[in-house]
Amino acid sequence: MMMISKNLADAINAQVGREFGASFQYVQIAAYFESEALDGLAKLFYKQSDEERDHAMKLAHYVVETGAQLAIPAVEAPKVTFSSAEEAIQAALNWETEVTRQINNLMDIAVAEKDYLAREFLDWFVVEQLEEVTSMEKLLRIAQRAGERNIIMLEAYLSHGGDED
């Protein structure tokens, strides 16, 4: 039995592509930090990339389990170059803000369709976005306070577990 509408399955498939896109983008950001010898930031963004892949897989499994067709769309190429740590972190924060909007849109569909299963499933993503946005905001604030010349301070902050969830 199909436990999902075509409409919601299409919207979730699109989100699968965006989460994989985020995973790629965070690899690029991590590589930027690694090339700047900012290993703490690199590690954080490689880990973030893994998390985005997990998000994509959670959504992909849901589409399959509810009996719809998984159809991963073309994934937009990530931004490759960054001129500062602040710019890279700002890009990540902008992304997370956008994802929050996208997840809310999925929830809007689930609510409109009275799809209680999807609402339950999407709740996890709604809560997850609070953490994703606030941790990125915090990182950006610290990067701005340190300034590009003292960005190494951010590494010290991270090495003391400052990014722990």
Which residues contact ligand FEO (rule: CB under 6 A)?
A: 19, 22, 52, 55, 96, 99, 132
* Shorter beta-carbon distance to ligand FEO: residue 136 or 151: 136
Q: Which is nearer to ligand FEO, 52 or 86 (CB)?
A: 52
Shortest Cβ 149–ligand FEO spacing (Å):
29
Q: How far is the CB of 152 from ligand FEO (least distance, A)?
A: 26
Minimum Å gap between C-beta 13 and ligand FEO is 15
Nearer to ligand FEO (CB atom), residue 99 or residue 154: 99
Shortest gap between Cβ of 52 and ligand FEO (angstroms)? Answer: 5
**What DSSP letter does each residue of the chain carry, written as one string?**
---S-HHHHHHHHHHHHHHHHHHHHHHHHHHHHHHTT-HHHHHHHHHHHHHHHHHHHHHHHHHHHTT----PPP-PPPP---SSHHHHHHHHHHHHHHHHHHHHHHHHHHHHTT-HHHHHHHHHHHHHHHHHHHHHHHHHHHHHHH-GGGTHHHHHHHHTTTT--
Residue 121 or 146 having the CB closest to ligand FEO: 121
